[in-house]
Structure 1
């Protein structure tokens, strides 16, 4: 089934099995972080899921393609480890949203993209692939047998030419296991209040987190994602447009209890790897998040066997790494991609992005 989408993209909006499996491919980069965040902060998980649901649908319709909507990983990671409270996380999200909206409107992200060079952006993609692989390995530790079973299912279905179907089976089995452990919760609408988990609090930690996140967001969520849109979908989506949409998302989602959100090459690669080709995947996933918000409880999500998510993340990381190296030409470019990727894994994606850009600039002047 396909419907014409009358937007600036002139693309079709399709609802099919491949769009469904592709939609779920994005969720494996999101749900583990949300589960961990709900377990460690005062965040209201139903409100967070409402934010994700709304903006999956909004940007799927606007761009007419399966653009990812993900948590801002640097900020979410700081909150999970206790360096940021939820009120500080909310403040950082609003600050980051304002900056992203401003630089996007001024066209500054596009200027950065022209200055830093394609190998640096490919390196950022590779860094995210390595980080996703690291996250996958961390998740599989919870139950190696379950993770191996998940990988076996994905591998067998991939050999049969039905890789997308495997995600339905893996996530379905995980969901049944969670319900069997925690029971079926009673549906409940989230309270429609502003800042339900606490008023935003600006602090030095929030400011430092914002700076760290912006470096990663500009490199991965704006520039690298724009490049991946061209690689995977043959679509010309500007980094400035992505910056503006991320700014709008943060400024609108945080007040209703959401978390800072961005686009990202990892989620986009996940959707592509499991079959998504149109904005219909976003609509499907958005509706799924909104439905999950009605029944989301800490007990239910804590009971989900996250080891199987690790198996799916392996597939996503491989797809993103493949896209990172496919267009690379020349030993110098290859060295930059490898260097930025490894440095991003070892230290920070934002730092790797800046250092890689400096190296590229110096080499280009020789």
Structure 2
């Protein structure tokens, strides 16, 4: 049975059970990453959730469709594994926002994508997946029995046919264990402040991470998402328009305690697969994030079982790695994806991105 309400105030805005289930399709990788980030850095989870809530609603209403709002996974992944501090993450987010707004304004997104090359972008995705997996191993090793239980839950949910919601189930179990330990958190409105978790600090690592992230963002969050808007929703949304909206998101959210955010083809496809067809899904998900922000207390977060967090990171790493290899169809591209990924794990993603882009450029000229 489905209940729906269609609003006359916004074109194409609908609220229904399918919009609600579709909204969850964009949260299955967002929430585990946010919990992991808050557990490993000085970021304020309530402020981060407010940022996601506000911009889910803003872009859902602006575009009139269930456009995704996701963390910039390369930058967030580097922060989770300790390669970037929160001040460096904030600086990288502001830098990425300024670049995305500029290149989108001047219509440069398509040109940049041709220079970088899709295999290099996919390789950065693979590198971040490997880094997340490395961090997960350390967390799982601290409490292997709890981790085994977590993996068993994931396996059972997948066998039952709900693979996409497995991370939410584990997240719910971890939250339940935290509540059992510290009690139900009290409602608390996040404080309105500028850079509540630390002043941005621009560094070499922040610049390297930003360059690598921009490769992923331009390829996946701008160009691939623009194509999906046409394929899935028959909407003509340009990659440059998406670049500008991502730039605005970062430049507005980061100063108020948010993190670098982007659109993404994976989140858009996830929403579509679970039934979302209008911007109503964004409004529902945004309200959910805002509600979570009121109870995202530090004591509850500190009580979250870290071994289960490791399980979540393994699942997220698998999904990110699977997405990196899904479109690869030839040996040369496969070699680039693997090479960039392994180099990113062994050295850093900035070096991997530069080497991969140079290799792609040379291989294109050899042909």
TM over 0.5: yes
Q: What does residue 294 of structure 2 align with? A: 294
Q: What does residue 138 of structure 2 align with? A: 138
Alignment of 1:1-366 (within 5 A): 14-17=18-21, 19-20=23-24, 22-38=26-42, 43-62=43-62, 64-65=65-66, 67-70=68-71, 74=75, 77=78, 81=82, 84=85, 86=87, 90-197=90-197, 200=199, 206-226=202-222, 229=225, 234=231, 239-263=239-263, 268=267, 271=270, 275=274, 282-366=282-366
The answer as to whether partners of 2:41 and 2:79 remain within 8 angstroms in 1 is no
The answer as to whether partners of 1:124 and 1:341 remain within 8 angstroms in 2 is yes
1:166 and 1:89 map into 2 onto residues whose CA distance is 28
> Mean alpha-carbon deviation: is it higher for 75-84 or for 215-224?
75-84
5+ long unaligned stretches in structure 1: none
> Mean alpha-carbon deviation: is it higher for 44-53 or for 244-253?
44-53
> Mean alpha-carbon deviation: is it higher for 148-157 or for 70-79?
70-79
Give the C-alpha shift of residue 303 in structure 1: 0.7
1:313 and 1:9 map into 2 onto residues whose CA distance is 38
Distance 1:9 1:93, change over 3 A: farther
2:269 and 2:138 map into 1 onto residues whose CA distance is 18
CA deviation vs aligned residue, 1:197-225 (integer Å, no higher than 9, x gap): 56x46xxx514344223212211123133
4+ runs deviating over 6 angstroms: 2-6, 8-13, 230-233
Give the C-alpha shift of residue 359 in structure 1: 0.9
The answer as to whether partners of 2:123 and 2:340 remain within 8 angstroms in 1 is yes
Give the C-alpha shift of residue 177 in structure 1: 0.7
The answer as to whether partners of 1:190 and 1:294 remain within 8 angstroms in 2 is yes
The answer as to whether partners of 2:49 and 2:289 remain within 8 angstroms in 1 is yes
Distance 1:165 1:257, change over 3 A: closer
Distance 1:120 1:155, change over 3 A: same
The answer as to whether partners of 2:21 and 2:275 remain within 8 angstroms in 1 is no
1:237 and 1:129 map into 2 onto residues whose CA distance is 29
Relative to the length of structure 2, the TM-score reads 0.80
> Mean alpha-carbon deviation: is it higher for 278-287 or for 126-135?
278-287
1:124 and 1:231 map into 2 onto residues whose CA distance is 21
Give the C-alpha shift of residue 27 in structure 1: 1.1
> Mean alpha-carbon deviation: is it higher for 8-17 or for 308-317?
8-17
SS in 2 for 1:354: helix
CA deviation vs aligned residue, 1:336-357 (integer Å, no higher than 9, x gap): 1211121122223233222212
Give the C-alpha shift of residue 55 in structure 1: 1.9
The answer as to whether partners of 1:222 and 1:263 remain within 8 angstroms in 2 is no
The answer as to whether partners of 2:69 and 2:261 remain within 8 angstroms in 1 is no
Distance 1:20 1:253, change over 3 A: same
SS in 1 for 2:29: helix
1:180 and 1:152 map into 2 onto residues whose CA distance is 21
CA deviation vs aligned residue, 1:31-72 (integer Å, no higher than 9, x gap): 20122223xxxx544323212221233334445235242157
SS in 2 for 1:28: helix
SS in 1 for 2:66: coil
Number of aligned residue pairs? 356
Relative to the length of structure 1, the TM-score reads 0.80
